[in-house]
Amino acid sequence: MNLQEVSDRLELKELVDLFSNYSDTKENDKQVKLFTKDGKVNIINDGQITFVLRGRKEIFKAFSNSMEDYKSVFHMSGQQTIDFVDDTHANGTAYNFVVLVKENEDGLLTTSQEGVRYEDKYEKVNDKWLIAERNSHFNWHLEK
């Protein structure tokens, strides 16, 4: 492994971690900038694509709306693997454990937990790695 590959791997790890951090802090304006301008997100439940988001504007709107109901969001990033296609393209898989906290009508907190696997296509644009396409596999969901 050469120095450039090590640098690229570190940058891609930070990219995936920043996605989770910005989701937790509901900084969707920063989160959407982690995608290419024409980035794509496929939301996958039970192995089926349930909806597709195309472009930063659509991704921003959907991410912002989906987080409105939650009092708190917590992502724990797990393992990540990267396969480089060439100097400016790579594929990756990353795992996240997600906890979502809502406040019900009585003021009581309820939580849901999700296991998410991201299958990503990355593109290096102007010397910066971005997410070109993300397949978000929601593998399991628990509510308490």
Residue 144, pLDDT > 90, answer no
Which tokens hold the place of 48? 């089926």
Which regions of the chain does DSSP assign to beta strands (E)? 35-45, 48-54, 72-86, 89-103, 109-125, 128-143
- What percent of the chain stands above pLDDT 70? 100
* pTM for this prediction: 0.94
The predicted structure's pLDDT at residue 48:
94
Q: 3-state DSSP call for residue 19?
A: helix
CA distance to 54, 111, 133, per residue, from 37 (Å): 9, 33, 11
Quick: pLDDT tens for 67-93: 888 999 999 999 999 999 999 999 999
The CA distance from 54 to 65, in Å, is 15
Question: What does the pLDDT read at residue 129?
Answer: 98
Q: What DSSP designation does 71 have?
A: S
pLDDT tens, 116-136? 999 999 999 999 999 999 999
Tokens (6 digits) for 132: 């070109």
Confidence label for 1 from pLDDT (cuts 50, 70 and 90)? confident
* CB of 125 closer than 8 Å to CB of 93: no
